[in-house]
Amino acid sequence: CPELIQSGAILTCSKGEVAGPSLAEHAMALLLAISRNVAVMVKAGSWNKKICQERGAIELMGMTMGIVGFGGSGQLLARMALGFQMKVIALGRTARASTIEGVDSVWGRERLDELLELSDVVAICAPGTADTRHMFDAAAFKKMKTSAILVNIGRGDIVSDEALIHALQKGEIAGAGLDVLEQEPPPEDSPLWQMNNVVLTAHTAGSSPNRNERNRKTFAENFGRFM
């Protein structure tokens, strides 16, 4: 919106406050669908314990979640992960103190590789910018644990679809829960549709019947402060 940019008006954003709760819940839903084999059982369409026994369930307690992007949704997701007794490490644009009890500090972007190496779950909650585009490329996936799960409720172009598919096919990571993709929707012949270790949702993580009310409440409170 060039007119806004040229107007000199100050732009603020509270998207993390109004959409954050549904985004964080959706991230946990994607993770649990993979870790507890919910998705593969639904796909099977039958009472088949053998599928779960062959794949093995994953217990989140004691695991480390690395959260990339620590705004409203990232902070809410951290609280949920801590509730599952996971350890949480967080990454922002720059290093800063953390306001979330249980998260020691927020690391700067320069420590991304360290976060990837340490995390059992990597959750992307970052905005889509020139700096974050293809942050997750072939080199990034090679730094992750082969047992790691990727969850993306941020922006699709943060992850290279091609690099992600390759990493999943080659076993460089164990699975992915994706609400956003670089190409939406993915092509009908995309391997992602057939992978049992992948859960896809159609960019719906921000949907909530409570979102508009939070928008109105936030605007009214801020307008009162302005006046």
Active centre residues (catalytic): 155, 184, 203
Contact by Cβ (8 Å): 205, 181: no
Contact by Cβ (8 Å): 52, 196: no
Burial class (CB in 10 A: 0-12, 13-18, 19+), 72: buried
Q: How is residue 128 written in tokens?
A: 């889509």
Please give the angle made by the CA atoms of 13, 88 and 154, to the nearest 5 degrees: 40
Listed residue (159, 200, 151) closest to 28, CA to CA: 151
Residues in the chain: 227
Looking at the DSSP bridge assignments, the partners of residue 159 are: 136
Looking at the DSSP bridge assignments, the partners of residue 199 are: 177
